A and B are shown apart, each in its own frame.
Chain A
Amino acid sequence: MIDATGMPQTAVVIGGSSQIARDTLLLLADRRLRSVVLAGRGEAALESTAAALRARGVEEVMTRYLDVTDTDRLDAFAKATACELDTIDLLLVAAGDLCASDLDALDAKTVSRAIVTNFAGPAAAVAAFLGTLRAQGAGRIVILSSVAGVRVRKANLVYGAAKAGIDGFGLGLADALEGTGVEVTVVRPGFVRTKMTAGLKPAPLAVESSAVAEAIVEGLETGASVIWVPPLLRAVFALMRLFPRALWRKIPD
């Protein structure tokens, strides 16, 4: 069960090979975490995170192959996972990947794939768990969004548009779930130095994945519904949302 300080005892991670997910789970392992299901594609990364969690004293860590773009499998996965844990305190959705956005690269397949990876797949995964979460009358869904989705830039337009989708889905879902005992947190990091962004030039206010993890754990404790990392980005984007489009489109990559 989630305790009065917001700390979960069990977690299911969609996108379990994500570095932010790994850092978050390691922090939660020092608190109350005892059972985890890690689902994702990168087997080596899943196993490495599982080993690190066991070493931190998490009693039970299970790894499962899951490709969120294979949305037909998500219901079966959710059902099997619900049988493996006595409750799902935390559903952490960290699946996603960057995608080329220059005009020459924009074809139907690339765009569709990016949207399934970053929006349709993660949203469908959340939906697959909704029945279990509502029936258990408690739980928290944490969705990794991005500031890229707060206002979409041309340099990052497909990823940004998909993140805008998952962000809106998360906020709307939070409202829809009011009174059910299930709560939703949307996390909006800026540029995070991870293997996903390796080789890219860091944007201003770039952070390490551990900073995102710390912000998530603090957000669980404060019950925040939206978490900006670093927090200054909340103010920055309050301004950026006001930029006229003529100016906005001049922002370099």
Chain B
Amino acid sequence: MSALRRPELLAGWGRVPSSAARVLRPGSVPELEDLLARRGGSLPMIARGLGRSYGDAAQCAGGLALDCTGLNRILELDLTTPQVRAEAGVSLDELLRVLVPKGLFPPVTPGTRFVTLGGAIASDIHGKNHHLDGTIARHLDRLRVATPGGPVECCPGQRGEVFSATCGGMGLTGIVTEAVLRLLRIETSSMLVDTERAADIDACMARLSEDEGRYRYSVAWVDGLSRGRHLGRSVLTRANHAVLVDLPADARHDPLRLELGRPLQVPAAPPISFLGPVTVAAFNELWYRRASRHRAGELVPLARFFYPLDGVAGWNLLYGPRGFTQYQFVVPLGEEATVRTVLERLSRARTASFLAVLKRFGAEGSGHLSFPRMGWTLALDVPLGSGGTAVLLDGLDELVVSAGGRVYLSKDGRLRPEMMAAMYPRLADWLEVRARLDPEGILSSDLARRLGLDGARRPAAAKVEA
């Protein structure tokens, strides 16, 4: 134990809550597998990637955080299937740099490319194409998972329950070390984007419900601060990958050029929040006015379409030291009124900040704790640190649960444990698989302990001896 480093303070992208854990950086998959199999019951541990989950999913107070970003080798690229086999610590950014020039693209991508493959699987991420393509789990051919009982290989047809518990399992059934991901073929690195404005939330949802099959990618950016008859005014951006003939003739010689640009850097963590209601309202107004009423067929580099926020590195610091959370929920189709009520409450409280993202999800996947289900999902950044926000969010949970919906664990840092079973009806299945794979509860995180997912109560004192 003396070889261990001093504890480091860790937090998610929202900067709160934080807790201290010892960070280990395994240099190879066998080293990680060995670490997990050998460490019988002393310190709890959780895998950590690039720290982009918003809350407390990738930290383990008083335990170990296994930084997996060193396991980032791309092991095999099969251009015929096409599919890629890679270690789970590889980032989407690293994958894009290899895949895009070869005319390939990840089948599912979130709003940032700075996530690891393992983190993406543990969150069972979705993208703007969920209505057609589902979550990342649907595109995985095979997983290798390190568990306290040793490495396990699984896929939907083989140890399917391990696969379903691990995709979306928040790293608590095992640590994904390797994955085979099926890929999408693209002809160009550009997107063909249609943009239109919607005057309010009802118009926005109506438009998103129409012709959704025409676009592979579909999302609406909603002004979370607009009220009254402008409630939920939004800009819809819907797109497909551009094919070669969509490009102007002079761009066709190099259609797969990947332009990621150099991100601006937030120079230092400011002591206060720059994103208050006044600055954000001004920003949102400008952004809405600038958007075209209707523009079709605009050619946009894929990074600008998929990862607009990656253009400002460390943008999370702008919310100040008190941090923020992202409230993302889904409710079934037919519960449009709930989406409207949530927007109303947040805009009335003047806490909803920046742009919210609204999207229509397609069918639910196989992951036991996977977030997406058929319906509407809305994601909003909510600054924390002012009294009253906690109670406001608790009230939203009640609304979401009574509408048959749920909150996204990878964005969460504050859900109460009582909500879990109602929001995730397959929780019992998941707990059963977890108990089998990790009977001693070695895999744990602050999120797991907060929500009662770790199934093991360990006395605080046991950790003193450790």
Contact partner of A138 (CB less than 8 A), chosen from B14, B61, B385, B394, is B61
What interface size band does chain A fall in? 20 to 34
Most chain A CB within a 10 A radius of its CB, from B8, B19, B413, B416: B19
In the bound complex, what is the Cα–Cα distance between A1 and B457 (angstroms)? 12
Contact partner of B450 (CB less than 8 A), chosen from A1, A85, A180, A222, is A1
Contact partner of A84 (CB less than 8 A), chosen from B7, B389, B413, B459, is B459
Residues in A with CB closer than 8 Å to B458 are 86
Query: Given A221-B390, A222-B386, is A4 in contact with B461 using a C-beta cutoff of 8 Å?
Result: no
B460 touches A83 (CB 8 A): yes
B227 to chain A, nearest CB (A): 24
Does any Cβ of B come within 8 Å of A181's Cβ?
yes
A135 touches B464 (CB 8 A): yes
Digitize A77-90: 1 where CB-to-B-CB distance is under 8 Å, 0 elsewhere. 00100111111100
Residues in B with CB closer than 8 Å to A31 are 390, 394
A132 touches B385 (CB 8 A): no
B55 touches A4 (CB 8 A): yes
Residues in A with CB closer than 8 Å to B393 are 5
A230 to chain B, nearest CB (A): 14
B61 touches A4 (CB 8 A): no
A102 to chain B, nearest CB (A): 41
B62 touches A135 (CB 8 A): yes
Does any Cβ of A come within 8 Å of B365's Cβ?
no
Query: Given A181-B61, A221-B389, is A1 in contact with B459 using a C-beta cutoff of 8 Å?
Result: no
Interface size on B, residues (CB 8 A): 41
Q: Which B109-164 residues have C-beta < 8 A from chain A?
A: none
In the bound complex, what is the Cα–Cα distance between A32 and B414 (angstroms)? 10
A29 to chain B, nearest CB (A): 12
In the bound complex, what is the Cα–Cα distance between A104 and B394 (angstroms)? 55
In the bound complex, what is the Cα–Cα distance between A217 and B18 (angstroms)? 18
Query: Given A4-B16, A82-B464, is A9 in contact with B390 using a C-beta cutoff of 8 Å?
Result: no
B11 to chain A, nearest CB (A): 9
Residue of A nearest to B63 (CB): A137
18 A-B pairs (CB sep. < 8 Å): A1-B446, A1-B450, A4-B14, A4-B414, A5-B393, A5-B414, A9-B450, A82-B461, A132-B464, A135-B62, A138-B20, A138-B446, A181-B18, A181-B20, A181-B62, A221-B384, A222-B387, A223-B322
